[in-house]
Amino acid sequence: MSDEGWADKVRRKAARLSKARRRTSTWWRHVANVGALGWMLVVPTVVGAMLGRWGAQWFEMRSLTLVGLGLGLAVGLYTTGWHVRRSLRDDEVE
């Protein structure tokens, strides 16, 4: 690794550390994060179930409701996990 690459990496880590120290962790921020995570999980699940129900009525296959519910849940879990990983990476203070 060149000296310039190393210096940029140190500068980025110092900026991230400074940003993390300035940001206060309040009770309301935790409540907002939990609420946002809940919506990230619930909305895709409900939309998937509704689309599955619509498909079940359209194609006369009741199993499509469960397929839509499962796909919606999978999307919700993926987006929630992605958000949590990104949030932890941004809060990393090394």
> What range defines the domain where residue 38 resides?
26-91
Is 48 part of any domain? yes
The pLDDT value given to residue 94: 47
Domains: count for the chain: 1
CB 80 within 8 A of CB 45: no
- Other CB atoms closer than 10 Å to residue 34's CB: what's the count? 10
Is 50 part of any domain? yes
2-44 pLDDT, tens digit per residue, is 556 888 888 888 888 777 777 667 788 788 888 999 999 999 9
**pTM greater than 0.75 (yes/no):** no
pLDDT at 77 over 90: yes
pLDDT band of 61, cuts 50, 70, 90:
very high
Q: Which residues contact 63 (CB under 8 A, 6 or more apart)?
A: 56
Is 63 part of any domain? yes
Is 81 part of any domain? yes
Q: What is the mean pLDDT of residues 66-85?
A: 96
Is 30 part of any domain? yes
